């Protein structure tokens, strides 16, 4: 890879060291500077310019003057807050169950959470339309058994948005909380029980406080991600559920008012930053990386944290005592017998709630499949008869075929480019120490923290200047921006876990650098690399926001085509596309999960 140091006997000069170092990380940095920093800053710059290019605050003035935008911001915050609450409440039992079962069971159950996390967003949203629509599966069922007389309105209102968004983001909450819960020593609860604490007390006084950093981190990630949503509110919400990103899309697509769109974007960004700031003050940003379960010592030294800890202490004490009373009451009703084995009722309840929530995550997407085989022209439940005509229709429509081919090509090329840029950077982050390493890492992963809409709109503007709008290459470059963070994070974890003594052992045995890399390092980290590639592939394959802006005319991708169709009408043809996509992506995710597991086993 680097010729400068191939001759191992000669100490590399400072200059060549510098070149090797920058040679590894510079391409990724330059790429992001061009296709991430530049477009995003251009967008922000635009928000301070009027139509003649003169400096102005008129866009911000308008934001302030027109109550509708602050109202939309309010709706956005409200939607995000409720989504967060639902994700935590629903996700906690899942995470708790996963954290407290045996390792092998956990590995199996985690797939039930990961699959919906990675299956196409649009597919899952369509599934809710099939389930909750006027003629959907739920209404049909309730009418049939006579519980209701009229269909209930469950979508195209706030309820629909809540169901769709909590379904979309609950896996994120689960995985974040799980990473903290896995670090909680199981012996702590056991120690509590030997000291005389009943189940309720050990949970509320010991386990729950230790899991709070997970709740905070999960809640924070869900909240921030929700702020940038538009697919779910657009497809499952009503007119009153419009979120801020939708107004940005409207400004650009319909009115072409760049400056004002930029100003709305700044408004959203400021909201995000304030939330980050408050979170950091309260809990410290370091908790976001998870794992750090114990912060009581530092918390008690910060005044806000101190009050929080006091209130939290009262709360957990109250809940603990309450649960203890319930436990005692149950104990009175059904006294424990010392000479008989007895099922653990609490555990059974946790399993039931956990499986129920996992069912909520995993099952809805399956409803897409039967409706794709309907003979009817409408998406009703139950599907009428059996026919392959919608699949036939797809095969006969070149636009779908082309979109699928393009999505595939773009995903392959974007993830390859992402690997080419991200892997050397990850290697360097893992293996050398240099000043500003933390900042470099933060920069490389920042595209996943910034709402995609900024990148998308910024790229649209940039591409408009350099003639890349509506080109496949523009799309690939945009998706590469999103792929880099995932590649860096995945590869970094793999390389960090790799024992460098093995390389040294190989070199003492007479292997040169190239041989060492090819014969020792690569075989060990290969599965991790493949996982990173597949990760990046899925990100690109399922990406809608950037595609929405930088594609046009003939050049379209599968998600973009589905979105355009869905805005007109969610039809059985769309269900057929979604079914194919569901099958393809599930297979893909299963394979990558298996590969990742194998990698984990080896290291």
Strand partners, 331: none
Of residues 193 and 515, the one with the C-beta less far from another protein: 193
Is position 293 an interface residue for another protein (rule: CB under 8 A)?
Answer: yes
Among 185, 499, 554, 564, binds another protein (CB under 8 A): 185
DSSP assignment string, 106-167: HHHHHHHHHHHHHS-HHHHHHHHHHHHSTTSHHHHHHHHTTS-SS----SSSHHHHHHHHHH
Of residues 321 and 586, the one with the C-beta less far from another protein: 321
Q: Where are the alpha helices (DSSP H) in 287-376?
A: 296-299, 303-333, 345-362, 368-371
Is position 190 an interface residue for another protein (rule: CB under 8 A)?
Answer: yes
Q: CB of residue 185 vs another protein: minimum separation in angstroms?
A: 7
Piece in contact with another protein (CB under 8 A), picked from 127-135, 158-166, 184-192, 591-599: 184-192
Is position 99 an interface residue for another protein (rule: CB under 8 A)?
Answer: no
Name 594's Cβ contacts closer than 8 Å, sequence gap at least 6.
Answer: none
The whole-angstrom distance between residue 140's C-alpha and the CA centroid of its chain comes to: 32
Piece in contact with another protein (CB under 8 A), picked from 289-297, 407-415, 519-527, 561-569: 289-297
Strand partners, 552: 555
Piece in contact with another protein (CB under 8 A), picked from 23-31, 201-209, 457-465, 500-508: 201-209
Query: Token pair 């599968």 is at which residue?
Result: 558
How is residue 418 written in tokens?
């992402």
Piece in contact with another protein (CB under 8 A), picked from 134-142, 230-238, 293-301, 492-500: 293-301
Of residues 104 and 435, the one with the C-beta less far from another protein: 104
Coil, strand or helix at 216: helix
Of residues 10 and 340, the one with the C-beta less far from another protein: 340
DSSP assignment string, 46-105: HTTB-TTS-B--HHHHHHHH-HHHHHHHHHHHHHHHHHHHHHHHHHHHHHHHHHHS-HHH
Q: CB of residue 92 vs another protein: minimum separation in angstroms?
A: 18
Piece in contact with another protein (CB under 8 A), picked from 170-178, 199-207, 358-366, 432-440: 199-207
Query: Token pair 């918390």 is at which residue?
Result: 299
Of residues 24 and 205, the one with the C-beta less far from another protein: 205
How is residue 44 written in tokens?
């922000």
Name 470's Cβ contacts closer than 8 Å, sequence gap at least 6.
Answer: 550, 551, 552, 553, 555
Of residues 199 and 559, the one with the C-beta less far from another protein: 199
How is residue 387 written in tokens?
């026919």
Q: Which of residues 317-346 bind another protein (CB under 8 A)?
A: 336-342
> Is there a contact between 167 and 173 (Cβ–Cβ < 8 Å)?
no
Q: CB of residue 356 vs another protein: minimum separation in angstroms?
A: 26
Among 188, 270, 405, 590, binds another protein (CB under 8 A): 188
Q: CB of residue 324 vs another protein: minimum separation in angstroms?
A: 9
Among 90, 116, 171, 209, binds another protein (CB under 8 A): 209
Is position 450 an interface residue for another protein (rule: CB under 8 A)?
Answer: no
Piece in contact with another protein (CB under 8 A), picked from 79-87, 150-158, 195-203, 235-243: 195-203
The DSSP code for 378 is: S
> Is there a contact between 109 and 98 (Cβ–Cβ < 8 Å)?
yes
Among 165, 197, 484, 573, binds another protein (CB under 8 A): 197
Among 53, 196, 467, 553, binds another protein (CB under 8 A): 196
Q: In whole angstroms, what is the distance from residue 134 CA to residue 140 CA? A: 8
Is position 479 an interface residue for another protein (rule: CB under 8 A)?
Answer: no
Q: In whole angstroms, what is the distance from residue 118 CA to residue 122 CA? A: 11
Strand partners, 55: 49
Of residues 119 and 316, the one with the C-beta less far from another protein: 316
Query: Token pair 């912060």 is at which residue?
Result: 295
Of residues 1 and 191, the one with the C-beta less far from another protein: 191
Number of residues that bind another protein (CB under 8 A): 28
- 246 phi/psi in degrees, rounded to 5: -60, -35
Q: In whole angstroms, what is the distance from residue 431 CA to residue 496 CA? A: 8
Q: How far apart, in Å, are the Cα atoms of 284 and each of 213, 221, 224, 281, 416?
A: 10, 14, 16, 6, 35
Among 80, 95, 170, 210, binds another protein (CB under 8 A): 210
Exposed/middle/buried for 8, CB within 10 Å: 0-12, 13-18, 19+? exposed
Piece in contact with another protein (CB under 8 A), picked from 22-30, 80-88, 190-198, 398-406: 190-198
Q: Which of residues 296-315 bind another protein (CB under 8 A)?
A: 296-297
Q: In whole angstroms, what is the distance from residue 541 CA to residue 585 CA? A: 9
DSSP assignment string, 56-72: --HHHHHHHH-HHHHHH
Among 104, 187, 433, 501, binds another protein (CB under 8 A): 187
Strands (E), 213-281: none
Q: CB of residue 345 vs another protein: minimum separation in angstroms?
A: 11
Q: CB of residue 337 vs another protein: minimum separation in angstroms?
A: 7
Q: CB of residue 335 vs another protein: minimum separation in angstroms?
A: 11
Coil, strand or helix at 555: strand
Among 24, 59, 198, 479, binds another protein (CB under 8 A): 198
Q: CB of residue 338 vs another protein: minimum separation in angstroms?
A: 4
Site string for another protein, 246-285 (x = CB under 8 A): ----------------------------------------
Among 39, 192, 422, 528, binds another protein (CB under 8 A): 192
Q: CB of residue 97 vs another protein: minimum separation in angstroms?
A: 20
Among 24, 167, 205, 596, binds another protein (CB under 8 A): 205
Piece in contact with another protein (CB under 8 A), picked from 198-206, 354-362, 373-381, 427-435: 198-206
> Is there a contact between 237 and 160 (Cβ–Cβ < 8 Å)?
yes
The residues binding another protein (CB under 8 A) are 185, 187-188, 190-198, 201, 205-206, 209-210, 293-294, 296-297, 336-342
């Amino acid at each position: 890879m680097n010729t400068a140091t191939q001759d191992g006997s000669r100490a590399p000069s400072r200059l060549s060291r510098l070149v090797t170092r920058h040679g590894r990380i510079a391409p990724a940095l330059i790429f992001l500077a061009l296709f991430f920093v530049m477009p995003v800053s251009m967008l922000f710059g635009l928000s301070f310019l009027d139509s003649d290019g003169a400096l102005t605050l008129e866009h911000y003035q308008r934001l302030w003057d027109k109550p509708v935008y602050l109202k939309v911001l309010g709706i956005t915050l409200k939607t995000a807050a409720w989504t967060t609450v639902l994700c935590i409440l629903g996700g906690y039992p899942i995470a708790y169950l996963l954290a407290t079962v045996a390792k092998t069971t956990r590995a199996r159950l985690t797939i039930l959470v990961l699959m919906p996390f990675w299956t196409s967003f649009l597919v899952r949203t369509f599934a809710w339309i099939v389930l909750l629509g006027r003629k959907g599966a739920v209404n049909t069922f309730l009418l049939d058994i006579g519980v209701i007389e009229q269909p209930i309105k469950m979508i195209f209102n706030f309820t629909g948005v809540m169901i769709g968004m909590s379904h979309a983001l609950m896996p994120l909450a689960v995985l974040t909380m799980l990473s903290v819960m896995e670090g909680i020593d199981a012996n702590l609860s056991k120690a509590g029980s030997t000291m005389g604490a009943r189940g309720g007390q050990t949970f509320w006084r010991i386990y729950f406080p230790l899991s709070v950093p997970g709740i905070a981190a999960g809640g924070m990630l869900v909240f921030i991600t929700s702020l940038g949503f538009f697919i779910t509110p657009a497809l499952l919400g009503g007119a009153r559920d419009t979120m801020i990103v939708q107004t940005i899309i409207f400004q650009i697509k319909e009115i072409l008012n760049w400056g004002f769109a930029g100003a709305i974007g700044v408004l959203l960004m400021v909201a995000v930053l304030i939330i980050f700031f408050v979170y950091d003050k309260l809990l410290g940003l370091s908790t976001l990386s998870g794992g750090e379960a114990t912060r009581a010592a530092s918390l008690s030294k910060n005044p806000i944290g101190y009050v929080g800890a006091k209130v939290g202490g009262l709360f957990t004490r109250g809940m603990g005592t309450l649960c203890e009373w319930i436990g005692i009451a149950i104990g009175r009703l059904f006294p424990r017998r010392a000479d008989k084995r007895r099922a653990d009722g609490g555990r059974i309840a946790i399993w039931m709630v956990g499986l129920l929530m996992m069912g909520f995550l995993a099952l809805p997407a399956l409803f897409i499949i039967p409706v794709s085989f309907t003979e009817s022209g409408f998406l009703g439940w139950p599907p009428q008869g059996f026919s392959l005509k919608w699949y036939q229709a797809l095969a006969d429509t070149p636009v779908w075929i082309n979109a699928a081919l393009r999505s595939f090509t773009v995903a392959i090329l974007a993830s390859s480019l992402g690997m080419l840029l991200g892997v050397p950077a990850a290697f360097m982050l893992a293996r050398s120490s240099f000043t500003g390493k933390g900042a470099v890492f933060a920069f490389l992963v920042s595209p996943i923290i910034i709402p995609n809409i900024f990148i998308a709109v910024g790229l649209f503007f940039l591409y408009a200047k350099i003639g890349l709008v509506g080109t496949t290459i523009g799309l690939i470059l945009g998706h590469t921006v999103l792929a880099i963070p995932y590649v860096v994070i995945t590869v970094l974890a793999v390389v960090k876990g790799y024992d460098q003594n093995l390389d040294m052992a190989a070199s003492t045995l007479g292997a040169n650098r190239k041989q060492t890399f090819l014969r020792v390092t690569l075989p060990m980290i290969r599965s991790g690399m493949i996982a990173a590639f597949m990760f990046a592939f899925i990100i690109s394959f399922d990406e809608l926001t950037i595609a929405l802006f930088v594609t046009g005319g003939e050049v379209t991708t599968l998600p973009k085509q589905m979105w355009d169709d869905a805005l007109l009408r969610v039809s059985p043809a769309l269900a057929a596309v979604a079914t194919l996509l569901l099958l393809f992506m599930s297979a893909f995710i299963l394979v990558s999960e298996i590969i990742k597991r194998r990698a984990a086993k080896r290291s």
